[in-house]
Structure 1
């Protein structure tokens, strides 16, 4: 039995007795993200259980939280590109929903909700203007990294609420990578990226209750050592997190999840996304990864 001590969210010492070896040293890799400022952020319609148009929205606070997230990535050594926000598209801040990029190939998005449909064309134009020559726009409903999660080996693909299951085979053809289909069953976790995220090669974190029985079995087979999130961490969108292989950027409320990833050798980095969460988004929703 080994005692392991590390700093908690408030710098208080946490001590764990573990029967396994001390967590391995994790190595970060530099990432590139595409983000969109929430200049027009508001909640004026309902397309997920988190949205309530009667609740006041502070757009200035949303901008401050988004800026802090962007600066966090830059402080960690990552590169951030920015697309201009557009009036009338309050959810454009959630850039992850508008494209999936793997080895320079781009699969655009086709939104289920008509309120967001116009976002896809703005991102398509950005890709073409920024040197991406291979951009495929889908025929099937596909909400990009909202439901497509690249592990480095497989594209985990969610369905059940937004992305059409036939979009999974479309993604495989467009991106040339193997696709694993996963069924989401809880409307609170309407996208894959609010129920699961990749920590490092062959390691994920997820909330099993968000998935069908068969999908849970698939995840257990593929990732037997996965971090299992609590209901409390899922409920604050703690799994809408971003990892660079060492640093894990996640909502400040996700304390149990932070403790567990720290035990695995990662460094939690907390951000406040409380205002953006009023539209059902968090760090990952605001961050499309550009894998060139």
Structure 2
């Protein structure tokens, strides 16, 4: 059950979907034949930002760069922890230009150390921080070697997990951190060993159904009380309410066409 602890304050970085499009297909959700309504995507993004601000969180905005349609998915920019930044090294050529754009923002913002990963590492897409531990996935995007680099750079334990379902190509599509004691996840996205590790680390972890996972319900942001999540995961929202959390559904249907929802659009800047 949720404790009476107050919500955790979040410092967030987002990037408007000004140049958003599905011009290529680099994950199972992308289909270049399906049109994208950019105006609607911008409305959905603005509502997500407004939701964070209504909850009292701080939102910073990075300027989008033409030719980088997936830059809206700020979670993939890197990992920010203790005032240091490990900028992502993207797998696909179509996204590799995002690294320099985000690195420039972090440097201009005054972060004391900004380094680009030396091996494939797609930031908070595959690296989720729980207190002073990082959960890091190995799959089609981030390599196992990246886990060692994360541990060395940040000086924290990194627990490796394995994704086995190509639909859940990033960790943040298959698992969300609710607070330091609790996660919700879709077991079918993980290897048997990783499922066992999650259950050992987080007794009482909430299990999402395949339907809710495919509705991007796990691609969500939690401050320990409020859970900002896709409005297409009703059963998961019910489970969260049963456990004492307050789910807040947002429509991210246009962004989902590129394989991302609320969490993908949100990078936490951990001081």
TM interval, short-chain normalised: over 0.9
Q: Which residue of 2 aligns with 1:83?
A: 62
In 2, distance between residues paired with 1:211 and 1:47? 20
1:227 shift after superposition: 0.7
In 2, distance between residues paired with 1:234 and 1:27? 27
Q: Tell me how many residue pairs correspond in the alignment.
A: 271
Q: Which residue of 1 aligns with 2:124?
A: 145
Mapping for residues 89-108 of structure 1, pairs under 5 Å: 89-108=68-87
Q: Under a length normalisation based on structure 1, what TM-score does the superposition of the two structures give?
A: 0.91
1:153 shift after superposition: 2.8
Q: Which residue of 1 aligns with 2:218?
A: 239
Q: Which residue of 1 aligns with 2:154?
A: 175
In 1, distance between residues paired with 2:84 and 2:185? 27
Structure 1 moving runs of 4+ over 6 Å: none
1:56-82 Cα deviation digits (max 9, x unpaired): 110000000000000000000000000
Mapping for residues 1-292 of structure 1, pairs under 5 Å: 24-292=3-271
Q: Under a length normalisation based on structure 2, what TM-score does the superposition of the two structures give?
A: 0.98
Quote the RMSD (CA, aligned, Å): 0.9
1:26 shift after superposition: 4.8
Q: Which runs of 5+ in 1 are unaligned?
A: 1-21
In 2, distance between residues paired with 1:155 and 1:24? 22
Contact 1:108 1:120 (8 Å CA) reproduced? yes
1:23 shift after superposition: 5.3
- For the residue of structure 2 that corresponds to 1:92, the secondary structure is helix
- For the residue of structure 2 that corresponds to 1:112, the secondary structure is coil
In 2, distance between residues paired with 1:66 and 1:219? 31
In 1, distance between residues paired with 2:155 and 2:226? 29
